[in-house]
Amino acid sequence: MLRSDLHSPFSWKSLSAMAGALTILALAGCGSDSVSGPKQVPLTVKAMGAGAASSARLASGLTFHSAYSAAAESIPVTFTKALLVLRDVRFHFEDGDFDTLDTDDGDMDSTGSQGDSIGEGEDDDDHDGGMVTFRGPFVLDLLSQSAESLGTQLVPPGDYDRVQGHLRALRASDWNAGGYPFLIGATVHLEGLVEGDGGGPFTYQARIDNEFMIRGRFSVGPDSPATAFISFDVSKWLVKDGAFLDPRIPDNAKWIEWAIRHAIKVDMDEDHDGHPEEH
C-alpha cells in the first residue's frame, strides 16, 4: 500500500504573518478615513440663573433677592425656589439647512436682537441638518450656586447664527420626574415672599409650551473646547414695563409667562475662564 502525506503549501507561520499584514492594512485604512474627516471640537452647554444677585454666588438654599426697575424697587421679592424645565437646546450652523420659526407674538414685543429670546412654536420634530441638539429634559435650579452642565458634544468649529430650545412641562414618564413629583405637568415653579405692606408668601406654578429662539453669532474656535452659557434672568420674571407682577394675582399669569420666555440669553465663554462674557 502506498501512503502519501499531503502537506499544505502554507505553514502556520506564514498564515499568521498574512493575518498580521491584513490587520495592518485595515488599521491604515481606518486611520486614513479619520484623518480626512472634518475636525470637531468639544462644545459644553451650561444653564444658570441670572439677575441682580447672581454675582453674589449664592449658596444653595439661600434666598434670592430681586431688584427690579426703579418703579418696582419699592416691592422687593425674595425667591426661595425657582425651577424651570428645559426640554432641549439646539445650536444652528450659520450656513445650515433648518426650518424657520414662527416669530409672531401678536401684541407682545419681540426685538430679535442678539441676546433676546423670541418666537413661539409647537414643533418638536428634529430638523434635518445644520444643528447640534442637547436633549433633556433638564430641571434647572436657577437659585443654585453654580451653572448646570447640559452635556458636551463634538461639533464642527465655526459660526452658529442662532440658538433655539423648548420650554415644556415635565412628564411623568421623564427620567428625572421622580425627584420632582410636584412639578409634573408644569414648566416653572416659583416659591417666595412678597415683602412690605400687603405682602406674603407665594407659590407660582405654570405650564409653558414655548419654542424660544435667540439670534446672534456664536463662534466655536478650531483649537480649543468651547463653553456656552444659557442664562435665565429670574429678576425679570415678575416685572413688565417697570410694573411689578404680583404672582398671587391670577390675571398676571399670562404676563409672567411672557416675561419668563423673554428673559433668556446666550453667552460664549470667549476667554475660557469658566464664566460667561458680559456683552
- Convert the pLDDT of each residue in 137-195 to its tens digit: 999 999 997 899 999 999 999 999 999 999 999 999 999 999 999 999 999 999 999 98
Average pLDDT over residues 115-120: 40
Quick one: 91 exposed, middle or buried, by C-beta within 10 A (0-12, 13-18, 19+)?
buried
Q: Where are the domains of the chain?
A: 39-268
What counts of helices (H) and strands (E) characterise the chain? 2, 14
Cell (9 digits) for 94 = 450659520
Q: Within 10 Å of residue 216's Cβ, how many Cβ atoms?
A: 18
Q: Does 119 have pLDDT greater than 50?
A: no
Buried/exposed 29-67: b ≥16 CB within 10 Å, e otherwise? eeeeeeeeeeeebebbbbbbbbbebbeeebeeeeebbbe
Kindly give the pairing relationship between strand 226-233 and strand 131-141. unpaired
% residues pLDDT > 70 (the chain): 63
pTM assigned to the model: 0.71
Radius of gyration for the chain, computed over Cα atoms and rounded to the nearest angstrom? 27
